[in-house]
Structure 1
Amino acid sequence: MRIEELAAVRDEELTADVCVVGSGPAGLTIAAELANSALRVLVLESGGRESSDAANALDDYDNVGARRAQPDRIAGDRILGGNSHSWSGRCALLDELDFRHRPWVPGSGWPIGPADLEPYLRRAACHIGIGHGSGFTDDGFWALAGRARPAEALDPRRLRPYFWQISRDPSDPFDCKRFGAHVESRSATDVLVIVGATATHLDTDTDGTHVETLQVAGADPRPRTVRARAVVLATGGIGNPRLLLASRRARPEGLGNRNDQVGRYLMDHRCGAVGALEPAAAEAITQRFGKYVVKTPYGRHTFVHGVALAPDIQAREGLLNCALWLQEVPAADDPWDSVKQLLRGRGDRHDARVALANSGLLLAGARRRLIQHTGLPHKLDRIELRCMVEQAPNRDSRVTLTDRADRLGMPTARVDWRVHDQEDVTVRRAAALAVAEFARLGFAAPTLFDWAAPDSALPLELTDWAHPTGTTRMSADPRDGVVDADCLVHGMDNLFVAGSSVFPTTGHANPTLTIVALAVRLADHLRTKVGTAD
């Protein structure tokens, strides 16, 4: 793929068969899937090759809802590679339950099911840097990993085993996949990525049913337009509704918003530590509910073993989906970061001294990695019991526009993120079940924090996890959402949306694997729709 700076582009009007707005995992996956397909693909990235304050300032917004941990993370990274620039690499599968309508979760239910997504997960795994796209969670993990299933199992009426997989960058075994770093290495002369190019308005026909051109702005004052047969918005859970709402020259309510659905149902994952365990008592439990290194068709990959609420107890008690895991918190003098720096050729004398002073721990780590195929032993400050809980869809939790404009003249976003008591009840119940199950299995169990105890009236000290979701939700009926099952905006014929903004519900799972699988699915649809059109 070629990369050009917008400032170096001479043409005032650019043309393409498919224009993708955003170069994060969703946008670059679509571009990669369409490469060498005879379709001309143009990717517009607002940021540059490196992060800059000027580009990130375009994400400024007004927060009028619940407090967020890091407000600057909400709208994504304006940089080549998008959110993959700062993600942690944790990949997870949605549960079958997440796709279903659940009477105790108003607004739940997807117009597609897990079987519709399954064929695309293997291809998604290749894009995202993991070894298996499916089949790696629940008890299926043990056969996949070639390990015996533990004799003592979790009580299936309460909790079930759950596994996350950690992405690995093919050029750096110590890092997760950074999509932007691999753009130019892919052979695709029919894909052009333009950086420093911000889409500010989608111009449509008078009925607002067909995108004719995109208005694009950059650092220089010269306006540009893009004319494409199909347009895909892939700018995140805040960026996607913002651009739809701001494109209001033909329709004052914005595009795809005839039923007042754009920007509504903003969800995230509430996440945080609910308890802790002293490292000295944790060896046995972290051997079972810790990290596993597994040989896969694409090399060795790390899996994290945790627990999730069983579907039956969710239905019986009206709970949301929630998962918990043990998180090691390294001490300040943990040597592994220094070792990684030395192996990357970036270490200094300090790193060498730290590694030498902890040679015994490093040797034990090498033995555990090579023989037991489990995670590396760290010098720890503590071990936390962490949780991630889904939110129920709430139409009043939403993204709208302010009266302010950014330096390119585009209205800024107003974010009103809502939290609900159902999430608090779920987290306290799940945390208590996890502690009880660990103890029943004979392990030293974490101690819950006071505010996470089942009978506590204190507020839960959880924050968002920078997973804005649901603001252009997928629905069969245009009255209930923004895009259809093919991610085409209701009432429009050539405007599509990619990313977690199309999720009707979030489950507890980190969204990137599902985002990329949906992007692969959308690319197949575009190849057929655009490639065969007159």
Structure 2
Amino acid sequence: MEDLTARIWDVIVIGTGIGGGSVGRLLAERGLSVLFVEKGTDLGDSRIEGLAIDTADPAARAANGAWPRLINAELDGTTYQLDGMIGAGVGGTSAYYAATLERPEPHDLDHSNAHPHPTGGWPVGYEQMRPWFEKAETYFEISGEPDPLDPIPANLPAPPRALPASDAALMQDLRRAGMHPYQTHMAARFVPGCLSCFGQRCPKRCKMDGRTAGVLPALATGRAALLDRCSVSQIQADATGVQSLTCRRDGQELQLRAHRYVLAGGGLGSPSLLLRSKNEYWPDGLGNRNDLVGRNLMFHLSEIIAIWAGRTKGESGASRSISMRDLYYMQGERFGTVQSMGLVAGYGEILHAMNSRFDRSPLRKLRPLRLGLRLPARVAAQALGQAKLFVGVLEDLPYASNRVLIDDKDEDLLGFQYTVSDELQRRRAAFRQAMRAAFRPNRAMFMGQAPQLNFAHPCGTLRFGDDPATSVLDRDCRVHGLENLYVTDSSFMPTSNGVNPSLTIAANALRVADRIAASMQPRLAASGQLG
């Protein structure tokens, strides 16, 4: 076997989720040598039921593809330990995601006068991103229907899917109420015999994620390699560029070198690594000369509502079929999309909701009491029946005080502090009112009263922009002051938008890969690597 540490790679990619897999694949397809470095293990095509496991044991979590440690969270001034729904394995969190890949609205990136945004615009607008959205939709084999409210609807590469009878009936109810539902954009092949794999690892590769749509096609080019179970502890850099990575694998310390480096460790992991990579040139962490690394942390708020639509008898499983954007931007308020979760209000979903509330309650330190929630969850499931769950994805806004926290003694320990702003509370109340009105023809009930942050959607912690005084990355997502270090995960986003961030991450990663490949063409031509 080739010693992967002995050569100087064209590009080293840290992380194999949506951002890492996408950037690595395009770079390999453009003729560059790529080394993927992944903290977790390559679980192959093994089937695992879910990412969130009810244990704090690092070994058990790592074996399941989860981040090895619970997350230390300070929410509204109170400390908690949270699962966080963060993956650590080839494919990252996307190996377990629900495979919903939707484009943001053009005004999310452009912030026109008609749709103003309190935080200003992106340095790269929607029209510049459009070809990369299209390429990402091809890479991830997106199926679904165009949004009827989109003036320039997406031309998806895969045909729409067959709808369950209950979802078709619910769509008719929504249209009669004046709404504009459409079939959710999904990254899935739906191969024959494949069970629903949303929220779990897929053994048949029908779900397109960072591994199946990114890492595996990159490896198939023969120009990429994978180093799993390899934890990057330090990025070694001088005043202008990265020199090497310090990693640990199987108890050994390794040094990895490349011409370019791409950081794709996630909205919490990437800024944590930069903050830990201190040296004489960067005493506060790489890229952190203006104290912006790790700040402006955003999530989405998830407003989960149970809908009793009827006509569900005889159907097996749950379908993630319906999305609508009627509430996305209303009367000057930035809300977001509403979509079916692919879940029914069954025992597992109710227990998860109860566990989440317990973890934020005064009893959270009494972990054995958590087991006592199973009985009331079963009772509630029997009482609710088979209601379909929908989620409203409410846009979060950036505040510098919401930030990543690190523990210098434990690189596996991720942490953050976050305060739910008065502004977010007000928009949340308005969003819930709009959701109630949208589903008025059907019996509906919200599945919680307290704000529910989506901890699987951390973003904004290494925002990109043209001004180094207000951003960590430039418009090519290169760290200001470091000529060969790029970022392609959700950290780059200056706003969270009103949709799941996965497609935006993938599209931006492909855009950045194109810029990296262009910058390396002269070197490749001189070395004779261009065909």
Name the structure 2 match of 1:483.
Answer: 473
Alpha-carbon separation, structure 1, partners of 2:468 and 2:485: 15
* Letter aligned with residue 323 of structure 1: T
1:309 equivalent to 2:327? Answer yes
Contact 1:81 1:180 in 2 (8 A): yes
Whole-Å separation in 1 of the counterparts to 2:242 and 2:404? 22
SS at match of 1:98: helix
What is the aligned partner in structure 2 of residue 446 from structure 1?
444
User: What residue number does 1:414 align with?
Assistant: 415
Give the aligned residue type for 1:245: L
CA distance in 1, matches of 2:396, 2:68: 28
Q: Distance in 2 between matches of 1:196 and 1:137?
A: 45
1:108 Cα deviation after fit: 3.7
Deviation (angstroms), 1:279: 4.1
The separation in 2 between residues aligned to 1:191 and 1:77, in whole angstroms, is: 22
Assess if the C-alpha contact under 8 Å between 2:477 and 2:492 holds in 1: yes
Identity %, equivalent residues: 25
Aligned partners of 2:413, 2:285: CA distance in 1, in Å?
Answer: 14
Residues 320, 423 of structure 1: 8 Å contact kept: no
Provide closer, same or farther for how the CA distance between residues 104 and 230 of structure 1 changes in structure 2, counting only shifts above 3 A: same
Distance in 1 (CA, whole Å) between partners of 2:325 and 2:5 is 54
| Partner SS for 1:73 | coil
In the TM superposition, what is the alpha-carbon distance from 1:118 to its structure 2 partner?
0.4
Q: How does 1:76-475 map to 2 (within 5 A)?
A: 76-101=86-111, 105-131=117-143, 135-136=146-147, 138=149, 164-169=184-189, 172=194, 174-175=196-197, 176-181=207-212, 183-184=215-216, 186-205=219-238, 207=239, 209-221=240-252, 223-249=253-279, 250-273=281-304, 275-280=305-310, 303-309=321-327, 311=329, 313=331, 315=332, 319-326=333-340, 329=344, 381-403=386-408, 405-406=409-410, 410=411, 412-439=413-440, 443-444=441-442, 446-447=444-445, 460-475=450-465
Residues 68 and 463, structure 1, Cα contact 8 Å, conserved in 2: no
CA distance in 2, matches of 1:219, 1:170: 37
Q: Please point out which of 12, 15, 21 is paired with 1:28.
A: 21
1:15: Cα distance to partner? 1.6
Question: Deviation at 1:473?
Answer: 0.5
What SS does structure 2 have at the residue aligned with 1:468?
strand
TM-score by length of 1: 0.72
Alpha-carbon RMSD across the aligned residues, in angstroms, is 3.7
CA distance in 2, matches of 1:54, 1:232: 26
Give, in angstroms, the shift of residue 280 of structure 1: 3.6
1:476/1:382 Cα in 2 relative to 1: closer, same or farther (>3 Å)?
Answer: same
The answer for unaligned runs of 5 or more in structure 2 is 49-58, 163-170, 198-206, 349-383, 527-531
Q: Is the 8 A contact 2:274 2:285 kept in 1?
A: yes
Q: 1:203 to 1:137 in 2, by over 3 A?
A: farther
Structure 1 residue 485 displacement after superposition: 1.0
* Code of the aligned partner of 1:233: L
Inter-partner Cα distance in structure 2 for 1:173 and 1:519: 30
Cα offset for 1:121? 1.6
- The aligned amino acid for 1:248 is K
Hey, what's the Cα distance between the residues in 2 that align with 1:104 and 1:519? 26
Alpha-carbon distance between aligned partners in 2 of 1:123 and 1:173, rounded to the nearest angstrom: 27
Query: Letter of the aligned partner of 1:204 in structure 2?
Result: A
State the alpha-carbon separation in 1 of the partners of residues 155 and 208 from structure 2: 26
Work out the CA distance in 1 between the residues paired with 2:121 and 2:338.
24
Map of 1:65 onto structure 2: 75
Contact 1:14/1:225 (8 A) holds in 2: no
TM-aligned CA deviation for residue 271 of structure 1: 0.5
How far does the alpha carbon of each residue in 1:245-276 deviate from its partner, in whole angstroms, 9 at most, with x for none?
11102311111111111000000011132x44
The one-letter code sitting in structure 1 at the alignment partner of 2:269 is G
Cα deviation, residue 482, structure 1: 0.7
**Aligned amino acid, residue 184 of structure 2:** W
**Distance change >3 Å, CA 187–CA 448, structure 1 → 2:** closer
Residues 270 and 462 in structure 1, CA contact (< 8 A), matched pair in contact too: yes
1:38 aligned onto 2:31:
yes
What does the per-residue CA deviation read over 1:33-80, in whole Å, with 9 as the maximum and x for residues that have no partner?
122433211110111113953745655542222589982235x31101
Distance in 2, matches of 1:435 and 1:62, equals: 34
CA pair 180-324 structure 1, distance change in 2 beyond 3 A: closer
Paired amino acid for 1:227: R
- For residues 138 and 423 of structure 2, the distance between their equivalents in structure 1, rounded to whole angstroms, comes to 37
Match of 1:235, as an amino acid? G
Post-superposition shift, 1:467?
Answer: 0.4
* TM-score, normalisation: structure 2: 0.73
Counterparts of 1:115 and 1:212 in 2: how far apart (Å)? 35
Change (3 A) 1:92 1:385: same
CA distance in 1, matches of 2:216, 2:334: 42
Work out the number of aligned pairs and report it.
440
2:7, 2:154 → 1: CA distance? 51
- Secondary structure at the aligned position of 2:388 is classed as strand
1:276–1:72 CA distance, 2 compared to 1 (3 A): closer
Q: Which stretches in structure 1 are left out of the alignment for 5+ residues?
A: 1-7, 284-289, 292-301, 334-378, 452-458
Deviation at 1:390, TM superposition (A): 1.1
Q: Look at both structures and tell me which one has the larger radius of gyration over its CA atoms.
A: 1
Give the direction of change, closer, same or farther, for the CA distance of 1:94–1:70 in structure 2 (3 Å limit): farther
